[in-house]
Amino acid sequence: MSTPKKYLFIASLTYAYPILRPIQRAIRERGGETAWFVDGPCDEYLRDDERRLHSVAEVKAFDPTAVFTVANSVYDFFPGIKVQVFHGYNIDKRPGRGDHFALKGFFDLYCTQGPSSTGRFEELARKHRYFRVVETGWPKLDNFFHDGPVGLPQNERPTILYGSTFTRWITSAPHLYDAIERLIRSREWDWLLTLHPKSDPEIVARYKALADRYPNVRFAADDDNMTLLRQADVMVCDSSSIIVEFMMLDKPVVTYRNTAPGPHLIDIDEADRLEQAIETALSRPPELMETIDAYCRTMDPHRDGHSAERVVEAVEWFLTNCKGRLPHKPLNLFRKYKMRKRLRYYRFS
Which H or E run contains 119?
Answer: helix 115-128
Q: For residue 223, what pLDDT is reported?
A: 54
Phi, psi for 49 (deg, rounded to 5): -95, 10
Q: How many CB atoms neighbour CB 280 within 10 A? A: 15
Alpha-carbon distance of 179 to 159, in angstroms, equals: 16
Report yes or no: 309 and 26 within 8 Å, Cβ to Cβ: yes
pLDDT in tens, 51-78: 999 999 999 999 999 999 999 999 999 9
> Which of 129-145 are b and which e, b meaning 16 or more Cβ less than 10 Å from the residue's Cβ?
eebbbbbbbbbbbbbbb
Alpha-carbon distance of 68 to 84, in angstroms, equals: 6
pLDDT value at 18 more than 60: yes
Q: List C-alpha distances in Å: 273 to 102, 159, 208, 304, 326.
A: 36, 18, 23, 36, 54
Report yes or no: 9 and 36 within 8 Å, Cβ to Cβ: yes
- Mean pLDDT for 267-293 is 98
Q: For residue 101, what pLDDT is reported?
A: 81
Alpha-carbon distance of 142 to 122, in angstroms, equals: 24
- Output the pTM of the full model: 0.89
- Mean pLDDT for 252-271 is 96
Q: For residue 166, what pLDDT is reported?
A: 83
Q: For residue 150, what pLDDT is reported?
A: 78
- Mean pLDDT for 193-198 is 84
Q: Which of 107, 83, 136 is nearest to 326 (CA)?
A: 107
Q: How many CB atoms neighbour CB 344 within 10 A? A: 7
Report yes or no: 96 and 112 within 8 Å, Cβ to Cβ: no
Q: For residue 66, what pLDDT is reported?
A: 98
